[in-house]
Chain A
Amino acid sequence: MGRKLLLDKAHIENIRLYDVYRREGGYRSVEKALKTMTPDAVTEEVKKSGLRGRGGAGFPTGMKWSFLAKPEGVPRYLVVNADESEPGTFKDRYLMEFIPHLLIEGMITSSFALGASRSYIYIRGEYAWIVDILEQAIQEAKNNGFLGKNILGTGYDLEIYVQRGAGAYICGEETALLESLEGKRGNPRIKPPFPAVKGLWGCPTVVNNVETIAAVVPIINEGGDEYAKIGVGKSTGTKLISACGNIKQQGVYEIDMTISVEEFIYSDEYCGGIANGRQLKACIPGGSSVPILPANLLLKTAKGEPRMMNYESLADGGFATGSMMGSGGFIVLDDTQCVVKHTYTLARFYRHESCGQCSPCREGTGWMEKILLKIDSGKGSMSDIDLLWDIQRKIEGNTICPLGDAAAWPVAAAIRHFRDEFEWHINNPEDCLRKNYGLAGYADELKIPVLDA
């Protein structure tokens, strides 16, 4: 049984209300930070904790905070990225819906560390009901002196605002989010300047994921060193994983990054194995943008070691044989799933969500979608696979924001590991409409299908 830091009290009835949350030890970190620590000391604790951004990139949070420019007389902002739109990721929703005060508490402590007197939660438009939950929590915190002017008599002021997005995946990219928050079209900005120097309304800004900010609470309560003891190597603390797909128990799990992927999928404590007695075929371990892995590479790295649920182990082998921790959207595919159709669905999503600002992403995503649909409907040819590979190669790395990469990686990984399935679709145009390629050799112990297209 792994240790829980964020969700340990999630099961308590009415924990979403201030009174219950406070009774269970809530807002201790605010008291500790504001009354006994300096802002720099809070940042130092976060640095020591080794906390990494939980939104997908895994950038060390303490380092991000220390990059924040601090010119005199210019306000600084903390913006919480709650625009959780990555297919397969729903951990922040759970957190905000059931323990909203954990986020508010983390925001107060973090804003104090950053010297921000106004903070924003930019929440995905589809989470309409969570806005009410958060606003109620903010009001309750305000009524009890944790927000507003002169918090706890320390002279520190903070206001938190919730802003709803209008339903665009791209607004989860931090600079697009800031544009949208400013009331403009949500196009990613060209970097540099980075938000740490010129962010919201041209002021230094830190944008962090909901889970990252929530994790600040246990870090301050227990100390950065204690937090760093949990987990392994550079993957410290706990991580929320939203597991979905063909597993017995879908849901949000908190893991301490020391368990193996195999245990996570098959143990009853977590996913409980593959549903309906089917077999594991493939898995996207970190949200739709990260590379898909076949069962054999998912459970064991190319070196033959068991793959663990942490940043380093999931990325072991690079993109050739590994994947990424990403945002923790764990999507499991069983042997009844078709990887070609699956890749097409993702390509369609990215085409729809591309902002259209830069040419490779705008044109390339649509092109990939059309080719994938063609292959999926049994009209493809062998040259289409190579063409797909060439298109994704020309998108990746050449765009303004990471959406181009996010659109290219799933296609690249699908071709890299599941080329036989694509070829089967092309060679059996009629069968592929009625039948499924099935598990094939993707779970075989010895075969490691690494293809250079």
Chain B
Amino acid sequence: MADEVKQEAPVNFKVTIDNITIEVAPGTTVLNAARQIGGDVTPPAMCYYSKLEGSGGKCRTCLVEIAAGSEKDPRPMPKLMASCRTTVMDGMVVKNITSERVQDARAGVVEFLLLNHPLDCPICDQAGECHLQDLGYDHGKEGTRYEFKRRTFEKEDIGPFIQLHMTRCILCYRCTYVADQLTDKRVHGILDRGDHAEISTYISKAIDNDFSGNMIDVCPVGALTDKTFRFKNRVWFTKPVDAHRDCDKCCGKVTLWNRGDEVLRVTARKDTWGEVQSYDNKPGWICNTCRFDKKKTSDWVIEGVTNINRHSVIAQNKYNGLVVPKETITDVMGGRDPKLLMDIHDVSDVNDPSIDLSLIEGPATSKTFEKKEE
């Protein structure tokens, strides 16, 4: 059956995205077609994960305008469509960055996603490799129009390996697809509905079934992070190297996040879109043994330094080009006299405002802030 289908010469569909025409196989989604073009025309995707069946359609960041449905029926679609779940038709014309409507809607979605997000990036282990951060930088506004208390949840311990921060969750459902499609038994899911929906386990059960660690890799935000890496280091100070080992459970191909000789964290290798890389058309998920137990360099055969996008903060080892706020302290304090405040820098000697953190080599340590003898 499959062979028969192949023998019929596959006719490719022509699709035009932001005035760039490309030929793709029938059944390709608009998002994947855009990814084949690459660059700016690719819509951002927070919930879609090409390796997880059924994912996508939920976050609405990848909405695009279909200006012409197909060659046969060139009527535009009235609503914006989720590009990750819309398949291309021959002669389809898609507008992404060239459509004001899309930009407006996307800005709205980003605002909604950030509405209840705690913005605790300074203490979040995901910072630096967080898709919501990237999305916020690209499409977000400086301020928020939300003036109410942000949503919080009761803390839940889901076992020794994975740290759950429900406040950061954007409910992309990716981790539930991992649990459904990779692990032997699913013990977690979504409880409740609406804005109080949360990721939770069935009566606080620990998530420790094999391959569950991949939940961390698919999580676009810091809701699920590696507990064994918790507060160990900022990702941009670690040095990622590709490594492998013979594993009877998984492909054994990983990225080690090192600090000196110490392996701080093990993750699957990621591709351009932040998804787990595929080998021979199979996603390179890694098992929990590789991820959590093999934390010695001697466990691994090192292949070389991981290729990281040079624009990433990880490649640069720091956030540079910091925007220094223009306002004075008086402005920020709503006209109140700053003298009434305690100068935290005087007291603690850390984070001296006169030291530009982006200019020092490597991570800031207490030595950076040591008081010079006068």
Residues of A within 8 A of B (CB): 168, 170, 185, 190, 351-360, 362-367, 370, 387, 393-394, 397-400
Contacts and interface: CB of A to CB of B under 8 A. Distances in A.
10 contacts: A354-B194, A356-B192, A358-B58, A359-B58, A364-B112, A365-B194, A365-B195, A367-B115, A367-B148, A398-B105
A394 B194 CA distance: 17
Contacts of A353: 193-194
Interface stretch (B20-28, B79-87, B248-256, B338-346): B79-87
B194 A352 contact: yes
Contact of A356 (B109, B146, B190): B190
A302 B116 CA distance: 41
B108 A356 contact: no
Given A358-B60, A359-B61, A397-B79, 12 more contacts: A353-B193, A354-B193, A357-B173, A358-B57, A358-B59, A359-B170, A359-B171, A360-B60, A360-B109, A363-B195, A367-B115, A394-B109
A360 B47 CA distance: 14
B121 interface: no
A357 B171 contact: yes
Contacts of A363: 112-113, 115-116, 195
Q: Which 6 A-B pairs have the closest CB atoms?
A: A394-B108, A356-B197, A190-B57, A363-B112, A354-B194, A366-B195
A197 to B, nearest CB: 14
Interface in B95-132: 104-105, 108-109, 111-113, 115-116
Nearest to B111: A394
A354 B109 contact: no
Contact of B146 (A355, A367, A393, A398): A367
Nearest to B61: A359
Contacts of B195: 351, 354, 356, 362-363, 365-366
B contacts with A: majority SS: loop
Interface in B136-153: 145-146, 148, 151
Contacts of B192: 356
A394 B112 contact: yes
Among B56, B113, B197, residue most surrounded by chain A Cβ atoms (within 10 Å): B197
B132 to A, nearest CB: 11
> How big is chain B's contact interface, by range?
35 or more
A168 B194 CA distance: 11
B63 interface: yes
Given A359-B58, A359-B59, A367-B146, A394 B197 contact: no
A354 B82 CA distance: 19
Nearest to A186: B193
B194 A355 contact: yes
A208 to B, nearest CB: 24
B183 to A, nearest CB: 18
A359 B173 CA distance: 12
A170 B115 CA distance: 23
Nearest to A363: B112
Contacts of A399: 60
Contact of B197 (A362, A365, A398, A400): A362
A400 B57 contact: yes
Contact of B109 (A359, A366, A387): A359
Contacts of B59: 358-359
A362 B171 contact: yes
A271 to B, nearest CB: 34
Contact of A168 (B79, B108, B193): B193
Contacts of A362: 112, 171, 194-195, 197
Interface string B141-174: 0000110100100000000000000000011010
Contact of A398 (B109, B145, B173, B194): B109
Nearest to A189: B57
A398 B171 contact: no
Contacts of B189: 185
Among B108, B111, B170, B193, residue most surrounded by chain A Cβ atoms (within 10 Å): B193
A176 to B, nearest CB: 11
A225 to B, nearest CB: 32
Given A362-B194, A363-B112, A365-B194, A356 B60 contact: no
Contacts of B108: 360, 393-394, 398
B145 A387 contact: yes
A364 B146 CA distance: 11
A390 to B, nearest CB: 8
A349 B85 CA distance: 29
A351 B146 CA distance: 16
Contacts of B145: 387
Given A394-B108, A398-B60, A190 B197 contact: no
A370 B148 contact: yes
A360 B115 CA distance: 10
Interface in B43-97: 56-61, 63, 79-80, 82, 85
Nearest to A396: B79
Given A190-B85, A355-B194, A366-B195, A360 B58 contact: no
A434 B363 CA distance: 60
A397 B196 CA distance: 23
Contacts of B79: 397-398
A358 B196 CA distance: 13
B112 A170 contact: no
Contacts of B80: 397-398
Contact of B63 (A185, A351, A354, A398): A398
B103 to A, nearest CB: 12
A374 B154 CA distance: 26
B55 to A, nearest CB: 10
Contacts of B194: 351-356, 362, 365-366
Contacts of A358: 57-60
Nearest to B87: A192
A355 B115 contact: no
Nearest to A391: B108
Contacts of B112: 359-360, 362-364, 367, 394
A421 B278 CA distance: 59
B211 to A, nearest CB: 22
B33 to A, nearest CB: 17
